[in-house]
Each structure stands twice: as C-alpha cells, then as structure tokens.
Structure 1
C-alpha cells in the first residue's frame, strides 16, 4: 500500500507520516513508509493514476492549494482515498466535490488519524488490492490476489492469472515490480519473475512448486532472502488467520 502526504510544512508532514505508520504497524497492514511532498505541483509532476491508495492533502499551501490539487487528482484517479488536513474547516463542504474520505484538523492526533484510516476500510482495500497498468490499446485494472506469477519477456510483462488466463502488460520489469512488491504475498524470486505465495504448494531447494504444478525457479543469490520472506508470510498467515 502506498501513501502520500502533501504538506508544505515539513514538521507537520513528518508528524502525520509517523502517526500513519503507527496505525499500519498496529493493525498489521503492509504499507510503504508514507512519501512526503512539499506541495501540489511537486506531487502532480510525477503522479501516476492507481499508484497511491491514500493521499493526505493539506489545503493551505504555497502555490496550488490542496483543493485544486485534489480536483486535478480526481481527473485521473477516482478510486484513491483523499484525506484533507488543514487548520480550518472552511473547505469542509467543498471536500464533498472531490469525494474526500475524511477531513482532519491540525494539529493531527493519533486518534484523529485512526478514525480517518478506519473510514478507508483498509482490510477490504487490501483484499481487493489492484493496480492500473497499460495493456494493449488500453489500461486495465489488475487484481493482485488473482496473480499466480509474472515473467518479463520481449520487453513486456506476461501475467499468469490463477484462472489460467494471461495478460500482457506494457511496462518494464523494474517499474512493474515496484508497484507489486510492497504486498507481502508477492515476491521477486528470480530476475524477471515474481511469484504469488498464495499459489505456492511447496518450497524446494531451488524452486517453488505451485498448486497447478508449475515450477518457478529461485535465484541462488536470492534464495535465503526469498526463503525467509516465504516463512514469514506463512507464519503471519497462520498467526492471523488471514493475510490482507
């Protein structure tokens, strides 16, 4: 899960990022460290629809304000959660225009942030985790729990799905992997290959064997790290009953 904090006051941004990380750790929700941006222009310059799950957005900023930034985000991405953070409730009514999930008043507290993130229904988000990716002539939404494994061939990613279908994704391996590897059930086991632990039947000395009988090789250089990641995943699954 990827989270952005957009605020021109670095101290406020770091405090909020720490509060978000505390929530994620407490609720055992896998998430990258929140990414900080000093303003709307800086965020929008590299914004890619479907990359961020939650965006915390200060309203009163130098340059383009938070409300206008949110409007631009909504032109390209209608599914991410936008949570406004501000010193005043003046824009509370306007927040409905961009379908904001919550409205935080500074200084933020852990209790406030918890309420905001509870509203996002993160467990359901993780169960339905997906990314927008470029396929032939269009963008498609790829459901991450439906992936069996992926391989990089002929300058594109071939995604093998659990139901036997395949999707060709027109991305390089580095960018594609960056979107997936924050999720604990997905693993980079060999150059150009990602595997979904949910589909693993057994781990051998040099490969995974999937439930459908497919063998997925594991790099000798990565074997120890991959093995530890798989054991940790399996342990968390048993301990928690399910892994989001």
Structure 2
C-alpha cells in the first residue's frame, strides 16, 4: 500500500504521516511510510499511473490548490483514492466531482484519520495491494501478492503469477522494479528478475526454489544481501507479524 501526502505545511504533513503509519501498523496493513510532497506541482511532476493507492491532499496550498491537483490526478488515474485535508468544509460538495473518498478536517486526530482510512476500504487482503500497469494495449491492475516472480525479456516484463498464469507488461525494468521493490517482500536477486519471497519454498546456495518448482538463480554478488532479506522476511513471518 503506497500513500502520498501533499501539503505545503511540513509539520501538518509529518503529523498526518505519523498517524497514518500508526494506523497501518495497528491494522497489519503492509505499507511504507507515506511519501510527502510540498505542493501539487511537485507531486504531479513525479506521478505516474499506479504510483499511489491513496493520496491525502491539502486543499489550501500555494500554486495549485488541492482541488486543482485532484482534478489533474483523476484525469491520469481513476482508481487512486483521494482524501482531502483542510481547515474548512467549504469544498466538501466539490470533492464529489473527483470521487474523493473522504474529507478530513484539520487539526487531524487518530480518530479522524482512522475514519478516513476506513472509508478507503483498506484491508490486509492481498487483492488490495496492487499496481496499475500497461498490458497489451490496456491497463491491468496487478495484485502484488499473487505474483511469483518476474523476468525482463525482449524489452517486456513477463510476470509469472502464483496460479501459473502469465502477464506481459509494457514497461522497462527500471520503472517496473521501482514499483515492486518499494514493497519489501520483493527481492532483486539477479539482473532482470524479481522474486516474491512469499512464494519461495527454499533458499539454496545459489538459487531460490519456488513453490511452483521454478528455480531462480541468485547473483553471486547479491547473494549475501538476498539471504539477509530472506532471513528477515522469514523471521517476521514466524513471529506472526505483517508483511515487512
């Protein structure tokens, strides 16, 4: 689950980030710390389809307002959840035009943030953790926990799913890796290949043995780091914790 906060008040953004991350941890929803942007222009400059699952937008900002930012965001991504954050309810009606999930009034509290995230229908269920990617002339919402491993072949990403199906993604390896490696259960084990540690059966001296029977080689130069990541993942799993 990837979350962005767009707010030109740094202290407000940091407080909101802390509350969001605390909620996610308590409800065992896998996520990284929210990424904070100081204004709408900076956010949109780096935004691509599927970059974030939820965006918290302050309405009153210098330059692009939160509402203007939301309109541009919605034109790019119809699935991303939008939560407005503001000191006034004046734009509550307008928020429906961009299909906002919630209208969060400042000062934010854990109770209000919890309501906002509940309205986003968050779940630890694996289907909720997904990215939107280009696939065969259209867009595919790819459920990340259902991936077994991916490989870069002939300028395309071949995604091997845990149910043995495959998807061909029209992305370069760098951009695709940036999407998946932000989730710590994915591992970059050798050039052009990403492995979902959830689908690993065994770690051998030079490769991963997947539950499907596939054998994925591990780069000799990367083996130490890969082994450490797998040990940490296994430790959290045994402890009954959330995905890393």
**Is it true that 1:197 corresponds to 2:159 in the alignment?**
no
- Give the distance between the partners of 2:135 and 2:122, measured in 1 at CA: 27
Partner of 1:117: 117
Residue 35 of structure 1, CA deviation:
1.7
Paired residues for 1:36-185 under 5 Å:
36-124=36-124, 126-185=126-185
Deviation string, structure 1 residues 156-208 (Cα, Å, up to 9, x no partner): 22212223332222222121011112223321111211112232121111111
Question: What stretches of structure 1 of length at least 5 have no aligned partner?
Answer: none
TM-score by length of 2: 0.89
TM-score by length of 1: 0.89
**Is it true that 1:9 corresponds to 2:5 in the alignment?**
no
Paired residues for 1:198-213 under 5 Å:
198-213=198-213
Deviation string, structure 1 residues 100-129 (Cα, Å, up to 9, x no partner): 222111121233222222332322564332
- Give the distance between the partners of 2:102 and 2:166, measured in 1 at CA: 38
Residue 242 of structure 1, CA deviation:
7.0
- Give the distance between the partners of 1:212 and 1:106, measured in 2 at CA: 49
Q: Per the alignment, do residues 58 and 183 of structure 1 end up closer, same or farther by CA in structure 2, a change over 3 Å counting?
A: same
**Is it true that 1:31 corresponds to 2:31 in the alignment?**
yes
Q: Which stretch shows the higher mean deviation, 22-31 or 213-222? A: 22-31
Partner of 1:187: 187
Q: Which stretch shows the higher mean deviation, 122-131 or 158-167? A: 122-131
- Give the distance between the partners of 2:219 and 2:122, measured in 1 at CA: 33
Aligned-residue RMSD, C-alpha:
2.2
- Count of residues in Structure 1 that have an aligned counterpart in Structure 2: 244
Q: Per the alignment, do residues 182 and 46 of structure 1 end up closer, same or farther by CA in structure 2, a change over 3 Å counting?
A: closer
Give secondary structure in 2 for the equivalent of 1:42.
helix
Deviation >6 Å, runs of 4+: none
Deviation string, structure 1 residues 196-243 (Cα, Å, up to 9, x no partner): 223212111111111222111112232232223223323333433874
The 8 Å contact of residues 3 and 55 in structure 1, kept in 2 or not, is answered as yes
Question: What stretches of structure 2 of length at least 5 have no aligned partner?
Answer: none
- Give the distance between the partners of 2:14 and 2:159, measured in 1 at CA: 37
Residue 73 of structure 1, CA deviation:
1.6
Partner of 1:234: 234
The 8 Å contact of residues 54 and 81 in structure 2, kept in 1 or not, is answered as yes
